[in-house]
Amino acid sequence: MNLTNEYKPLPDFLTIKESDIHGLGLFTKKDLPESFLLGISHLYNSNFPDNYLRLPLGGFINHHDMPNCIAKSYDDPEKHIKIFTLKEINAGEELTVKYIINKLEDPRWEFNWEISQ
């Protein structure tokens, strides 16, 4: 088994635990600088109802009206969404993004989702 290629659902510096916001949340185990790339939260895939496959990063990050992270869409090489920090974040803090949940009935939900941040 090649351990350098072993799949890990989250980077080592992130963890999932109980959230004061809602259910479980995504927390950092180390201090993070502003504009730090946390990773990819969603991959485009037309086989899903909203055309995205949500990865663990996207599945556990909670919404907040005053978020400490931002989601950005990219088309190269494949359509996907990445999460970045908006400011310095201290170890132990919950990571949050401002988003609209499952606007499946609106074909332009992705546009609305991006604008809402």
Chain segment 5-14, per-residue pLDDT in tens: 777 789 999 9
Q: What is the pTM of this model?
A: 0.77
Residue 80 lies in a domain: yes
Domain of 73, in residue numbers? 33-115
Residue 25 lies in a domain: no
Does 35 have pLDDT greater than 90? yes
CA pair distance 15, 38, nearest whole angstrom? 12
Which of 12-26, 28-42, 91-105 has the least mean pLDDT?
Answer: 91-105
Work out the average pLDDT over 31-43.
94
Residue 26 lies in a domain: no
Reading the block at residue 76, the tokens are 């190269």
SS (H, E, C) 43-104: EECCCCCCCEEECHHHHHCEECCCCCEEEEEECCCCCEEEEEECCCECCCCEEEECCCCCCC
Q: Could you give the angle at the alpha carbon of 65 between the alpha carbons of 63 and 68, nearest 5°?
A: 75
**Total domain count, the chain:** 1
The CATH number for 76's domain is 2.170.270.10
